[in-house]
Amino acid sequence: MSKLTLNLAYLYPKLLNIYGDRGNVLTLSFRCQVRGIDLNISTINPGDTLQGKDFDMFFIGGGQDQQQILVSNDLQTKKDELIELIENNVVFLSICGGYQLLGKYYKASDGSEIPGIEALDLYTVAGSKRMIGNVLCKEIESGNTIVGFENHSGKTYLGPLAKPFAKVIRGGGNNGEDGFEGVRYKNVFGTYLHGSLLPKNPYLTDKLIELALERKGLTMPEVSLNDTFEEIAHKKAERLRY
Ligand code: GLN
């Protein structure tokens, strides 16, 4: 049987990588490798051309407003291609600042509007108070707990075409008002959870890998992993105070 491979585009790693978000790519790579899946990682920086159809997965991390402006300018040149891929069920994990830029816009605290790519029915407005702390939420689709750390001033509001990713149990989430965290649209997962997110949420890592394989007509190899440390980290994070 030919080797299973997945191709991941890591968007703007030099600009959007606060709070260790690159740990998500390392985790995807590890949990593919132990299953005998080759995860080929390509970094995409401003000015790079995107051969979008070559990729099964995308990752974009979080960043400060200034970096988001630089990324937004380049994203506009890739907007149509990314929207087409998202509509074609590509797996896309987006964190915080990167998540915000998949929507219509992020209105920063100085009132300036940073355009998103309008792939998702949502918009973000900087609030007067940053939401910072350890978040505990429950994925709506599975009911599984998801843990992570948030630090954002942006308050994200979902439109009717975007469904929330999770229900907040402890923390701010999208906007500190509606009790929801993140977004799920087709195979796009948007979330405010840094940490990085995936090392402490092995269930979600495996879900992303499985969705990417399924999109290629492939099934997840039956390999049981020893998740002792991941579960200890997850349970400990569940008990952290905000
Ligand atoms: N600059 C954005 C905000 O403050 C995103 C921050 C982040 O990515 N952690 O909401």
How many Å lie between the centroid of ligand 1 and the Cα of residue 215? 31
Strand partners, 183: 190
> What is the total count of domains within the chain?
1
Beta strand residue intervals within 82-216, DSSP E: 91-95, 105-107, 113-115, 122-139, 145-158, 166-170, 180-181, 183-185, 188-191
Q: Is the pLDDT of residue 1 over 70?
A: no
CATH code of residue 78: 3.40.50.880
Q: Relative to the CA of 154, which ligand 1 atom is closest? A: 10
Summarize pLDDT for 64-96 with one digit per residue, the tens: 999 999 999 999 999 999 999 999 999 999 999
Average pLDDT over residues 219-225: 96
So what's the pLDDT on residue 177? Answer: 98
For 143, the token pair is 């009911």
Average pLDDT over residues 238-242: 94
Domain, as residue range, for 168:
4-239
* pLDDT classification of 113: cutoffs 50, 70, 90: very high
Q: Is the pLDDT of residue 176 over 70?
A: yes
So what's the pLDDT on residue 157? Answer: 99
**Is 234 part of the annotated catalytic residue set?**
no
Q: Relative to the CA of 63, which ligand 1 atom is closest? A: 8
Catalytic residue among 96, 137, 152, 234: 96
**Does the CB atom of residue 152 touch ligand 1 within 6 A?**
yes
Average pLDDT over residues 89-108: 98
